């Protein structure tokens, strides 16, 4: 099963990102169909700001951006299909972790799950959908994050 590809060449936080690879793979494999691929990219602030401006029409770097690809079973090749891409900016991640007083790895896992929820079709455009998505994120993260830390991840 090929479920997770990462790209972090030269990005800040690369070592920490790679150390979390097994946990990320475990989390991602809960979400996606067999033979699917999710690409997770660690990028710098400039690249994230460009992605945010180009694809979302927003200014500045985001912590995480997700691009979901429609599933077409007829178009799958033998290596599987790409379910989506997640882009994470380590500097913004580190700032978010510090603000919440949680380890960077825990916040990384939260951002990966957040991106995976978007790939699964969750949104957070209103209070009801935001609450539903947050509840799902907490359920997915529960086995990986101590409960005290889990609560702070959503502050």
CATH number (domain holding residue 69): 3.40.390.30
C-alpha–C-alpha distance, residues 1 and 3, integer Å = 6
Residue 40: how many other CB atoms lie within 10 Å: 26
Could you read off the pLDDT of 33-75 as tens digits, one per residue?
666 788 899 999 999 999 999 999 999 999 999 998 876 555 5
Could you read off the pLDDT of 1-23 as tens digits, one per residue?
334 545 555 567 778 888 888 88
Res 78 pLDDT > 50: no
Which residue range forms the structural domain that includes residue 133? 4-153
Beta bridge partners of 66: 86
What's the number of domains the chain is made of? Answer: 1
List the one residue out of 140, 66, 64 whose CA is nearest residue 108: 64
Locate the DSSP E strands across 26-128: 37-43, 64-68, 82-89
Average pLDDT of the chain to the nearest whole number: 85
Model confidence, pTM: 0.84
């Amino acid at each position: 099963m090929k479920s997770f590809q990462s790209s972090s060449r030269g990005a800040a936080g690369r070592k920490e990102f790679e150390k979390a690879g097994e946990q990320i793979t475990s989390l991602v494999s809960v979400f996606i169909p067999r033979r699917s691929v999710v690409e997770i990219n660690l990028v710098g602030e400039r690249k994230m700001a460009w992605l945010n401006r180009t694809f979302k029409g927003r200014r500045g770097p985001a912590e995480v951006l997700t691009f979901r690809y429609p599933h077409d079973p007829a178009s799958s090749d033998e290596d599987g299909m790409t379910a989506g891409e997640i882009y994470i900016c380590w500097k913004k991640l580190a700032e978010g972790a510090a603000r919440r007083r949680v380890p960077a790895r825990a916040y990384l896992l939260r951002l990966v799950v957040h991106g995976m929820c978007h790939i699964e079709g969750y949104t957070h455009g209103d209070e009801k959908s935001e609450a539903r998505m947050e509840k799902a994120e907490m359920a997915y993260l529960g086995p990986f994050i101590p409960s005290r830390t889990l609560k702070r991840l959503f502050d």
